Amino acid sequence: MVHGNVRKLAFLTAAMGTLIASQALAADLTDVLDAADEVYLGNELVSDPFDISLTPKFSQRHEWAKLKREYYEGSTKQMRLLNELEYKRVVNEFDIDLEIGMFHDLSFRMGIPIIISDQASYKFDTSSDKPEFQINRTNSWFSPEHTNPLTPYRFFDLKEGETLKGRDRSGLGDMTFGIAWSPYNTERHFIPERPWEGNTG
């Protein structure tokens, strides 16, 4: 019994060690620009007075959602969750990431997001026509003479097949500013003849 517990403990310890090692290997490297420094190009030490990086990026983001609401069915006295609307949003964004070296392993960073277009739209959910899943789109709350209280009427004044589009927005997004610093540098004391030593900041 003791040997079995020891084996289980050893297996658990090995599993935890593997998990910790995998998490450590997954860490991101810190890449920081600097200024007033020196770097090696091949075997030659050259001056590096100033670093700057300008990175343009384009992204397109899609969002989808299904709007549901509770409906109390009077005939069965049950509360059901029914589909009513489909939501969609498309954002086209052009980002400019700027980084400027200030000193040894110290840089200033700024992100400038430019929103090219940002538009949301709604339409009635068409994934199912079954009454147990779907709001009755023909039974409008906005037309009382057509409203049947025994069926789940719709709350939104949309026509069948109509898509309500919001305002197409564009402009400057939320800008970001920051300082990046690295306490460890693998290149400043790099020795070409002995690359295995002296690689600390």
What integer pLDDT is reported at residue 22 of this predicted model?
A: 47
Residue 28: count other Cβ atoms within 10 Å of its Cβ.
5
Coil, strand or helix at 89: strand
**Per-residue confidence (pLDDT) for residue 105, from 0 to 100:** 87
The pTM of this model reads 0.61
Predicted pLDDT of residue 142: 46
Sites in the chain below the pLDDT cut of 70: 1-30, 42, 72-75, 129-157, 159-160, 186-201
pLDDT at 89: 96
8 Å CB contact between 101 and 53? no
Quick: pLDDT tens for 26-80: 556 667 888 888 777 767 778 888 899 999 999 999 999 988 877 766 667 777 7
182-to-36, 77, 106 alpha-carbon distances in Å: 15, 65, 7
